[in-house]
Amino acid sequence: MMNQRRQFLVRGIGLAALGASTGPALADSETSRRFHQALERNPRLSVYADSSGEQAGAAQVWGSMPPDLNGVFYRNGPGRFELGGERYHHWFDGDGFAQRWQVGGGQAVHRGRFVMTKKFEEESRAGRFLYPAFGTRIARRAVKNNDSVNVANTNLLPFNGAVYALWEGGSAIELDPETLATRGVKTWRADLKAMPFSAHPKMDPDGGLWNFGNAPGGDQLAVYRLNAAGEVTRSALVAVPRLNMVHDFVVSGRHLIFLVPPYAMRADAGLSLAERMRWDGGARPLRAVVIDKNTLELRQVFELPARSVFHLGNAFEDGGCTRLDAVLHEGDVLPDPALPMRGDMRDYREGRSATVQITLDYASGRAREARLFGVSEFPRVAPQVVSARHRRLVVLGADGVGKDLILNTVNLIDTDSGKADSYAFGAGWQVEEHVLVPRRGARAETDGYLLGVAQDTRRGQTVLTVFDAHNIKAGPRALARLSYRAPVCFHGNFLAT
């Protein structure tokens, strides 16, 4: 695996390769100026502003916290976008800000702090950005490997007694589960050092997990299987032609499934990685790449109409087919998260995204879709049904109020009927990913709670939200409101205690 690892890291044109050229930094003060001017007029942009540093505080609880909801809700997202008068161009570039919500005894206590990556510490000492980022080209310091540019900003995974800050381009970063202090880079196995470890691992019923790594342009997926003790028991490199950004995947009983959108990779060292990814939907399809779990070999590739994709829900076997959920976006969506960085709110145009269930028929080689929901993102299922048959899917949505459609609704979809149990927070709110938390011993997917975070942009406060999973439309049974704004998070997981 050592020689294969070396070839994998060299062949890709990932973030590390962007530091190979010399030239000026393209993070700039003009982007910062435009953003802060817009922020004075539009408080909703506050969720894209910098965090000043470590946070801690007890939330004021409105309503009734469930007495049997006990544990820690770990979250992660970008928190630093500006340094030395310069501002990143893309939302995905910000340095990771890890958060934990301790829930129990009717209370909720919050803590947040930056992940002290090598990049974060070096740039903090220098007082300016040094390394390339996903959507911003910077070339002030040489890049040694993927972890030189690891922002650790996408997910927070509690696993085997530790907590890991994840980012799809580099290693997991281990944190202290209580204090969130950074312990250092996690190398799962010596021959896997600095290999990408995706931000969307999938747990197995036996307590282990599956994950993957990808170097855009390298045309290989690295696949990992870890047991419950955190040991890599199986790994493989799977050839996938014309591979580009793959952010998420799903695991069924027999398969690992990846959706590969139709991007072509420009070979231009003067561009950021995001800028190198050229939308090619007119010539290429969206591909569903299926890998056999037993052999870790490519089984089959299906073609679908060209769309882009970030997140998938769940997958399960259905006779001679596999069914999976995905949120598909019309056209190239990579520029959208860059808009608010310069003061423009994202515009979710009607029909731009939709949650669908895809059926892959192995005998015919065809894929078909069933639409489940309109404008949406961040699909999740109950943890007890991952890789098995599920009938409920959580997504965020937009209620369509105002010119700028932002995610401000939570929805629990019945995947059989297509009906959704929904709640809209209304104007002035931006909702983050919500997760299903089952009661102890629960089998039904709605036997438990829906837990998430929402940003009250009018008050500049972050709020933990708790719903009864069987009755979302009734609204939150509890809101735990902080007196301050915490950075917006991408993803997280609840660890019951």
Using one digit for the tens of pLDDT, what is the confidence trace for 195-212?
A: 999 999 999 888 999 999
What domain count does the chain have?
Answer: 1
What average pLDDT does the segment 60-71 reach? Answer: 97
Enumerate residues 6+ apart whose C-beta is below 8 A from 402: 427
Question: What is the model's pTM?
Answer: 0.94
Grade residue 14 by pLDDT with cuts at 50, 70 and 90: low
DSSP string across 192-245: GTT--B-S--EE-TTS-EEEEEE-TTS-EEEEEEE-TTS-EEEEEEEE-TT---
* Residue 302 burial (10 A CB sphere; 0-12, 13-18, 19+): buried
Report pLDDT digits (tens) over 122-150: 999 999 999 999 999 998 999 999 999 99
**Of the candidates 241, 246, 244, 242, which has an alpha carbon nearest to the alpha carbon of residue 223?**
246
Domain that holds residue 58: 2-496
Sign of CA dihedral 246, 249, 255, 260: negative
**Of the candidates 421, 476, 412, 484, which has an alpha carbon nearest to the alpha carbon of residue 455?**
484
Supply the CATH number for residue 179's domain: 2.130.10.10
Report pLDDT digits (tens) over 363-373: 999 999 999 99
What's the confidence (pLDDT) of residue 336? Answer: 86
What's the confidence (pLDDT) of residue 221? Answer: 95
Of 244-248, 268-272, 320-324, 391-395, minimum mean pLDDT range: 268-272
Of 157-166, 263-272, 281-290, minimum mean pLDDT range: 263-272
Q: State how far the Cα of 292 lies from the Cα of 315, in Å rounded to an integer.
A: 14
**In this structure, how many other beta carbons lie within 10 angstroms of the beta carbon of residue 337?**
19
